C-alpha cells in the first residue's frame, strides 16, 4: 500500500503548493492514502473549515493538527462534523473532536490515523501514551487495519524518537510534526515501522519556520515586541514522506522523503516508478 504524509501547511503559499501538487503526486504514484498536518494552514494559526475542505478535495484522507488546532475558534465547532479532521488524542475527556480515526482508503483498505502531542517544552496536556495504546488495541495492524499512521506533534527530538520506538512493529508510520523543519533521519525501525523525526512544513522556507523573517530577526536583537508576524511569501516547498507498506502485515517496506518546489533539495518517491 502507498502512503503519503505532508507536514504542517503554513499559510497561503503552503496551501497552494499542497493543493497543486498533492493531486499530481497521488495520481503519478498511485498513492492510496494521504495525510496532511493542517494546524498552521490559516495564516499560520489554525485551520478553517473551508481550508480543510480544500485539502480533502486535493486528496487528503485525514488532516491532523497540533497545538495550533484551536487558533481559529470555529474549529471547536466544525471539528464535530468533520470526522477526517483530528486533534491530539491527549486533550482531556470532553474536548471536541477525536484524536484518532479509521478511514477507508481509495483502495478499500482500512487505515487508522492518530494524532498525539508531546509535552516537553509544550503546554501541559495529558499522557499521550495510554489513550494511544487504547486506540491501537482496537485497531491491530495486519488484522483490524491495513495501515496505521501516528502524527507525533512535539518539539523535542527525544520525545518523538521515543514514540517511534514505543510503536515500532505496531504501526506503519510514526511521523513527527511541529518544528516545521524536515529531518533527514527517515528510516524503517527494527520491527518494521517507518519513522521520521519531523516531516518539515509545506510553505516558504526563506522564512522563520514559514513566517516572515524580518520581525523575528528584529526581536532576536531588540527583545521588545513589534509588528504582528504573518506567513512568508515566496516560493514554497511541499515536504513530507512516502511510505510503501506490506499489504499483509501493514509494516513498512521503505520510507522516502518527498519535497517539491521552493528552496530545498527536491525528492520524489521514484522507487514506486521502478516497481
Site membership for a copy of itself, residue 120 (CB under 8 A) = yes
Site membership for Fe ion, residue 14 (CB under 5 A) = no
Position closest to Fe ion via CB: 8
92-108 b/e (C-beta count within 10 Å ≥ 16 → b): eeebebbbbbbbebeee
Between 58 and 242, CB nearer to a copy of itself: 242
Q: First and final CA of the chain: distance in angstroms?
A: 12
Site membership for a copy of itself, residue 43 (CB under 8 A) = no
Which one is catalytic: 68, 134, 165, 186?
68
- Reference 40, options 28, 55, 22, 21; nearest CA is 55
Distance CA 40, CA 15 (A): 10
Among 91, 99, 141, 150, binds a copy of itself (CB under 8 A): 91
Between 158 and 270, CB nearer to a copy of itself: 158
Site membership for Fe ion, residue 67 (CB under 5 A) = yes
Q: Which single residue is written with the C-alpha cell 499559510?
A: 11
Angle value at C-alpha 180, between 174 and 184, nearest 5 degrees: 55
Alpha carbon 173 to its chain's center: 11
H/E segment holding residue 120:
none
Residues 125-144, interacting with a copy of itself (CB under 8 A): 125-127, 129-130
Angle value at C-alpha 26, between 25 and 32, nearest 5 degrees: 145
Residues forming contacts to Fe ion in the complex (CB under 5 A) are: 8, 39-40, 66-67, 178
User: What residue ranges bind a copy of itself (CB under 8 A)?
Assistant: 70, 73, 76, 91-96, 119-121, 123-127, 129-130, 155-159, 161-163, 165-166, 179-187, 189-190, 197-198, 200, 205-209, 213, 216-217, 220-225, 257, 259, 263-265, 267
Catalytic positions = 68
Amino acid at each position: 500500500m502507498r502512503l503519503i504524509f505532508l507536514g504542517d501547511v503554513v499559510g497561503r503559499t503552503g496551501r497552494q503548493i499542497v493543493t497543486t501538487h498533492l493531486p499530481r503526486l497521488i495520481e503519478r504514484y498511485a498513492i492510496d492514502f494521504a495525510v496532511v498536518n493542517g494546524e498552521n494552514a490559516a495564516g499560520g494559526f489554525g485551520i478553517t473549515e473551508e481550508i480543510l475542505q480544500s485539502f480533502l478535495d486535493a486528496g487528503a484522507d485525514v488532516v491532523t493538527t497540533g497545538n495550533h488546532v484551536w487558533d481559529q475558534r470555529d474549529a471547536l465547532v466544525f471539528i464535530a462534523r468533520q470526522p477526517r479532521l483530528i486533534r491530539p488524542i491527549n486533550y482531556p475527556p470532553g474536548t471536541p473532536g477525536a484524536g484518532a480515526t479509521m478511514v477507508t482508503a481509495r483502495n478499500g483498505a482500512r487505515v487508522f490515523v492518530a494524532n498525539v502531542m508531546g509535552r516537553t517544552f509544550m503546554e501541559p496536556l495529558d499522557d499521550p501514551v495510554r489513550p494511544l495504546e487504547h486506540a491501537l488495541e482496537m485497531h491491530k495492524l495486519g488484522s483490524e487495519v491495513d495501515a496505521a499512521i501516528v502524527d507525533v506533534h512535539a518539539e523535542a527530538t527525544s520525545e518523538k524518537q521515543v514514540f517511534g520506538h514505543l510503536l515500532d512493529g505496531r504501526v506503519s508510520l510514526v511521523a513527527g510534526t511541529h518544528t516545521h523543519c524536515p529531518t533527514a533521519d527517515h528510516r524503517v525501525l527494527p520491527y518494521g515501522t517507518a519513522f521520521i523525526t519531523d516531516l518539515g512544513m509545506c510553505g516558504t522556507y526563506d522564512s522563520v519556520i514559514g513566517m516572515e523573517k524580518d520581525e523575528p530577526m528584529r526581536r532576536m536583537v531588540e527583545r521588545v515586541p513589534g509588528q504582528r508576524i504573518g506567513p512568508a511569501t515566496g516560493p514554497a516547498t511541499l515536504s513530507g514522506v512516502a511510505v510503501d507498506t506490506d499489504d499483509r502485515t501493514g509494516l513498512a517496506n521503505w520510507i522516502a522523503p518527498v519535497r517539491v518546489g521552493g528552496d530545498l533539495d527536491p525528492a520524489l518517491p521514484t522507487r514506486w516508478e521502478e516497481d
